[in-house]
Structure 1
Amino acid sequence: MTLLTKDDRPVLVVTNLDDPTADFVIAELHDRGVPVVRFDSGDFPATLSCSATIGGTDSWRGSLRTPSRHAALGTMRSMYYRRPSGFAFPHFDRQDERFAVAQARYGLGGVLTSLPDCLYVNHPNRIGDAEYKPAGLAAATAAGFTVPPTLITNVPDDARAFIKEHGTVIFKPISVPLYLVDGKAQTVPVTEVTADEIDGSVTGTMHLFQKRVDKVADIRVTVIGAHVFAVRIDSGLLDWRTDYSTHAYTPLAVPPAVERSMRAYLEHFRLVFGAFDFALTDSGEWIFIECNPSGQWAWMEPATGLPMTAALADLLQGGLHGQ
């Protein structure tokens, strides 16, 4: 559904330069005549500048400027916040860079997180809360999901004992920052791990171990405002992200109990968007794996015909008062 509106307030899109998912949404908004201001916060201060004032009973006033756009701070109808690059000041020494990064994060970042009458998809602070995997697992159990037995530890003996108790166990990263090999970004895959592979290096940082789910398929559910789009992914892989060429996609309905739990989970973190991953067992049970508050979804749209781009554009176009 395309919303018709005379609202000329812009939609902010905060993301990195190479983001095909955001590109789809921006193209849809442009087709609707909705003004869009796109920037990467990592462009500050080279090609992004900001001036903001506040006082009395007024909210933030001022503007954001890029070489091609100018946006008044009090006029944003919504913000689509997706994986912008971090602040960097390589021309400073390390101490001055730390200081400058902090000023940018809490200055520019603080303004962007407190815009008046703006719908955030999602709010940067809420994204930060939800990206803590232990917090996500705790919220999932509280919401009524079934979660695989999970251990987070840096104690080798505890890891070995967990593996011996649960048999087939996987290791996966708790967070995935940019990881480069020969200058190319890498995905750290989910892998099986045995007790005899656990050594003293585990003490170096926290690790997440989880009982492997005996699954027949994976499910990605993308929740966009009031809309829910579920896709079964058949790949035969432990980690379906490692080879997209193996995928077969099938749209499917979400069981009411699962949808209720998803809504409870999103409400807990105050999110309006979430990309949920489940493992589907041969008995039909949906096992919670994780929810990504900034997850990808656009690659599934051509194969399934699900109108996810339109749903997200509707959400952003409607703003706070269109929900």
Structure 2
Amino acid sequence: MWFGLAGPTGVPARRLPPFETGEWADALAGWWRSCPAPFVNDPDAGSRAGNKITSLEHAAEEGLTVPDTLVTNDPDQALAFCHAYGSAGVIAKSLNSHYVELDGRRHSLFTRVLSAADLALLPATLAAAPCVFQPLLDSRLELRVTVVDEQVFAASTATADLAAAGLAGSGDVRRVRRAVPMTAHCLDDDVAHRCVRLVAGLGLRYAALDLIVTPDGDHVFLDLNPRGGWWFAEQRAGLPISDAVAGLLS
């Protein structure tokens, strides 16, 4: 059984109070834990693996290079981290969902490169919730690596193509994939094996990973999504990922 996102149905379109939220969470968890069909992915494993701190730690344990990372809600720590990297720049991203509701409207809070205006807002806003800060790394390729059991499918977007389209430094290639070419990429065998071990070690059978390749050819792990989409990589880079996923469910 494919497990994507689960939430309550048949309830009013409003924010649920803590009691109702907890009751729905326990009801859904009890159902899938008692279901005899195997899940792709196991919901509990997917929840653990979806934590950015957990995935970064496991990636480092598997020998993948990970960026310097700060998770904090302390504005002073965040500003010191940003100033340490100076003109190189720093990106910020959420720990959990990238959706945020403002004035009754749902917005996507993608990874972003922090501007001077963003830094000025940190003292007044960051204390409310922790955020992930990482240096903006120089790259020549951005990779989407889809792992299906032991099969690895990699698609690349060239940083030069992003720059040509005026999109370099956008911080999150999900916002711009339609504007730039994406091609099948032959991933280094050692990196591919480490990605497979990372996914399996987290108790997953499927995951979408984001990496970059630096100008020196080093591969840097950025993120892992147990429910990440694969269709854009399949369609634009010609990768047979759907067949591999179907094999998990047959």
Identify whether the pair has TM-score above 0.5, normalized to the shorter chain. Answer: yes
Greater strand share, 1 or 2? 1
Any idea what SS the aligned residue of 2:182 has? strand
| Residue among 150, 154, 166 paired with 1:230 | 154
3-state SS, counterpart of residue 194 of structure 2: helix
2:241 paired residue number: 308
Relative to structure 1, is the Cα distance of residues 182 and 242 closer, same or farther in structure 2, using a 3 angstrom cutoff?
A: farther
On the 8 A contact 1:172/1:189 being kept in 2, the answer is yes
Q: CA deviation at 1:220?
A: 0.3
Unaligned 5+ segments in structure 2 are: 163-167
More helix by share: 2
* Distance in 2 separating the partners of 1:312 and 1:185: 30
| Paired position in structure 1 for 2:3 | 81
1:4-26 Cα offsets, whole Å, 9 max, x none, are: xxxxxxxxxxxxxxxxxxxxxxx
Is 1:110 aligned to 2:34, yes or no? no
> CA 1:162–1:99 in structure 2 vs 1: closer, same or farther (change >3 Å)?
closer
Which of 63, 71, 77 is equivalent to 1:144?
Answer: 63
1:114 partner letter: S
Normalised TM-score (structure 1): 0.66
User: Aligned-pair distance for 1:145?
Assistant: 1.0
CA contact (8 A) 1:89 1:101 kept: no
Q: Would you say 1:221 and 2:151 are equivalent positions?
A: no
Residues 294-323 of structure 1 show CA distances to partners (whole Å, capped at 9, x for unaligned) of 000112222222111111111100xxxxxx
- 1:261-288 CA-to-partner distances (Å, cap 9, x unmatched) read 2122112210000101001111111111
Quote how far apart the aligned CAs of 1:98 are.
Answer: 5.0
Q: CA deviation at 1:184?
A: 5.9
In the alignment, the residues of structure 2 paired with residue 143 and residue 135 of structure 1 have an alpha-carbon distance, to the nearest angstrom, of: 12
Instruction: Indicate whether 1:289 and 2:222 are aligned.
Output: yes
Q: Select 1:171's aligned residue among 92, 98, 101.
A: 92
Aligned mates of 1:224, 1:140 — CA distance in 2 = 17
The match for 1:189 among 100, 103, 110 is 110
Q: Encode CA deviations 1:197-244: one digit per residue, 9 max, x unaligned.
A: 232322221011101110122100101122111001235133211123
Larger RCO: Structure 1 or Structure 2 (Cα < 8 Å, ≥ 6 residues apart)? 2
The structure whose Rg is larger is 1
Distance across 2 between alignment mates of 1:188 and 1:108: 27
The alignment status of 1:156 with 2:82, answered yes or no, reads no
Inter-CA distance 111–140: structure 2 relative to 1 (3 Å threshold) = same
Would you say how many aligned residue pairs link Structure 1 and Structure 2? 236
Match of 1:122 among 41, 49, 54: 41
Q: What residue number does 2:173 align with?
A: 240
Sequence identity (%):
28
Give the letter aligned to residue 144 of structure 1: G
Following superposition, the deviation at residue 193 of structure 1 comes to 2.2
Provide the rounded CA distance (Å) in 1 between the counterparts of 2:240 and 2:104. Answer: 35
Report the AA paired with residue 188 of structure 1: L
Contact 1:169 1:210 in 2 (8 A): yes
Amino acid at match of 2:32: L
Q: Say whether the 8 Å CA contact 1:81–1:122 is kept in structure 2.
A: yes
Cα–Cα, structure 1 residues 155 and 252, in superposed 2: closer, same or farther, change >3 Å? same
Aligned partner letter, 1:137: L
Choose which of 116, 132, 157 in structure 2 pairs with 1:208. Answer: 132
Which residue identity lines up with residue 225 of structure 1 in the other structure?
D
Q: Tell me, in whole angstroms, the C-alpha distance in 2 between the residues paired with 1:109 and 1:143.
A: 30
Q: 1:98 to 1:162 in 2, by over 3 A?
A: closer
Root-mean-square deviation over aligned CA pairs: 2.5
State the shift of 1:88 in Å: 6.5
Deviation at 1:135, TM superposition (A): 1.1
Distance 2:112 2:27 in 1: 40
